[in-house]
Chain A
Amino acid sequence: MIDAIIFLSLLLSGYLFGQYFERRHYKSILKREKGSLHVPLLTLKTAPSGLKSCDAALVTGSVVVSVDYFKRFLAGLRTIVGGRVKSYESLVDRARREAILRMKEQAIDRGAIVVTNVRIETSSISKGQGNAIGSIEVLAYGTAISPHQV
C-alpha cells in the first residue's frame, strides 16, 4: 500500500514540476530564438560568397536535460505498447534547441554573421537503474564567421 502511495506521489510531483520547468524552458527558448534570428545557421561547408577578411572560429553549445519520473513511466509504458514516445519528444526538442541557441549565442558574442557547417550530436548520459536513460546530452558545433574588426 505504501509503495503505491510513494509511486503515485512521485508520478504527481514528476508531472507537476516537469510541466513547470518545461514551460519555463520553452518560454526562454522562444524569446532567445527571436533575439538571435539575425544569425543564420548553415549545414553547408562552404561559407556564403562575398565575404572578405573574416575570422573563422569553432563555436559550440551543449546542454544536458534530464527526464522526470512521469515522463520515464510513460516512456516505459510505450515500450510495451509501441508507437511514438510522445513524452520524450518535447524533452529532446528542448535539448536540441537549447544547444543550438547556446552555440548561436557564443557566435554572436564573437560578432559572427553566420555559422557554417553546423553539426549536432546527441548522446544519453547516466544509464540509471537497469538500462533506463536518465538524461540526454546534445552538443551543437559549427564554424562562426565574423568580419574582422577594423
Chain B
Amino acid sequence: MEYEPKIVPEGINTSREHPIREFAVLVSGLVVVIVLVTSLLAVSTDFLIQYIPLEKENEWFANEMFTDAEVPEPEPDINTLLEAEVEQQLQQLIVELQDKEKTGYRFIVNLLHNEVPNAFVVPGGQIFVTSGLLEVVASENGLAMVLAHEMAHQYHRHPLRSLGRGVVLSLVLMVVSGVESDGLVGSFVGNTALLTSLSFSREQEREADLLGVDLLMQHYGHASGSSEFFEAMLEQPQADTETPEFLSTHPGIEERIDLLRNRSRQSSGDVTPLPEVIGRYLEAIENS
C-alpha cells in the first residue's frame, strides 16, 4: 500500500458565491416578502374589523377601563372642581361638534393633568386631552379642531382598527422570530414590518384631519383657527422637524398646517374665544 501525496482541490466544501451578492439577494427578497405580508395582513384586518358592530366595541371598552377609578379620591380640592367644570365644557363642545347623522357613536372626554400637549382617542370613543394642550390653543376653534380630529378617528373606527392590526402583526412576528436563533434577524424583520405599518398610520392621520376640519366647518361655518394647535407645536422647543416622514406615525407637521391653512383661506370667519373656566383652571394648576 503506497502513499501518493496529492493536493485536494479547493472549492468542493466551500461555495464560490460572493457573500455580498448573497446578502443583497436575501435581504431584498426578505424585505419584499415582509412588506407584502404586512400590507396584506393590515388590509384584511382593517376590512374585517369594520364588521364588529359599534355597540360591541362600546361594550368591551367600557368607561371603567380607562379612568383611574381604582385610585381613592382625596377630598375634592379647588383643582378637582375646576377640572370637572372644564371637562363639562369640553363634553359640551363635543356634543356640538358631533355629526348628527352618524348614530351609535359615543364620546366621553377626560382631562389629564400633564404638561406635554397631547390628545388621543381609544377604542370605545374615550377622548383624552392634556392640560398642556389647553395651554397652547388660543381660541375655541383651535381646541375644537383637536377634538374634531380625535372624533374623526373614531368615526372612521381607527382606534379599533389600529388595535386589531397591531395584535395580528405582533402575533405573526412572534411566530416568525420565535423560530430563529438570533436577535439580529428578528429585529430586522420586526423593524421592516414596523416601517410598513407606519404608512397605514400616516394615512389614518390624514383622513382624520380631513373629516375633522369638515366637522369644524359644520359647526362654526368656517375653518379659521383650525391650524392653531399645529402651529403652536411647531414653535415648541422639542418640535421634531428632523425625523424623516417615513419613520413617523404622523404626516409632517408642515403638510398638515398647509392643509388647514388652505381650508381657512377658503372660508374664514371670526374665532370664538376659549371658555373662561379653562383660563382659571390653568392658573390654578400653575399656582399649585
A and B from one complex: yes
Residues of A whose CB lies within 8 Å of any CB of B are 1, 3-4, 7, 15, 19, 33-34, 37-38, 40, 48-49, 69-81, 84, 86-87, 89-90, 93, 114, 129-133
Contacts A80-B176, A93-B13 known; A73 to B185 CB distance under 8 Å? yes
Residues of B whose CB lies within 8 Å of any CB of A are 1, 3, 5-7, 13-15, 17, 19-20, 22-23, 26-27, 29-30, 176, 179-185, 188-189, 191, 243, 247
Number of A-B contacts (CB under 8 A): 85
CB nearest to A48 among chain B residues: B1
Q: Complex: how many Å from CA A69 to CA B188?
A: 14
Q: Is the CB of A74 within 8 A of B22?
A: yes
Q: Is the CB of A86 within 8 A of B185?
A: no
Q: Complex: how many Å from CA A76 to CA B17?
A: 18
Q: Is the CB of B29 within 8 A of A81?
A: yes
Q: Complex: how many Å from CA A15 to CA B182?
A: 18
Secondary structure dominating the interface of A: helix
On chain B, the residues within 8 Å of A15 by CB distance are 19-20
How far, in Å, is B197 (CB) from chain A's closest CB? 17
On chain A, the residues within 8 Å of B15 by CB distance are 84, 86, 89-90
Q: Is the CB of B181 within 8 A of A37?
A: no
On chain B, the residues within 8 Å of A72 by CB distance are 182, 184
Nearest 3 CB-CB pairings of A with B: A76-B185, A86-B15, A76-B182
Contacts A73-B184, A77-B185 known; A34 to B23 CB distance under 8 Å? no
